[in-house]
Amino acid sequence: MRPTQVLMGGGESPVGKYGKFLGGWGGFGGMPQKGIVQYTLSANRQNPLAGAANAAIFNTWRRVSAQILYVAPPMVFFYYAMSWATDRNHYLNSKAGRAEFDE
């Protein structure tokens, strides 16, 4: 077996400078830490989409209502500015507008 396969395989293989593989994914073979408790839930007991639709509706409402005063006034202003500019352009390119500003 080549050494690269042993290194990639993980486990407790005697490899390296001091003849010991340090361990895979954070287990470097040191003293075990005390006072750390991990709780897990079995995969068949989990419900990953529990309340997702309810949370999506209310979270979307909360986020939109928090940002509406930052977004709506500029949108209204630029909508009316664009409407005025379009109407003005149509007038200036009409027969009456050309007659008024004819040079």
pLDDT at 61 over 90: yes
97 neighbors 91 (Cβ within 8 angstroms): yes
CA–CA dist 58, 64 (Å, integer)? 10
Check residue 23 and give its pLDDT. 59
CA–CA dist 8, 44 (Å, integer)? 31
Confidence tier at 93 by pLDDT (50, 70, 90): very high
Q: Backbone dihedral region of 31: left (phi > 0), alpha (psi from -120 to 50 degrees) or beta?
A: beta
Check residue 69 and give its pLDDT. 96
Centroid of chain to Cα 49: 18
CA–CA dist 5, 39 (Å, integer)? 33
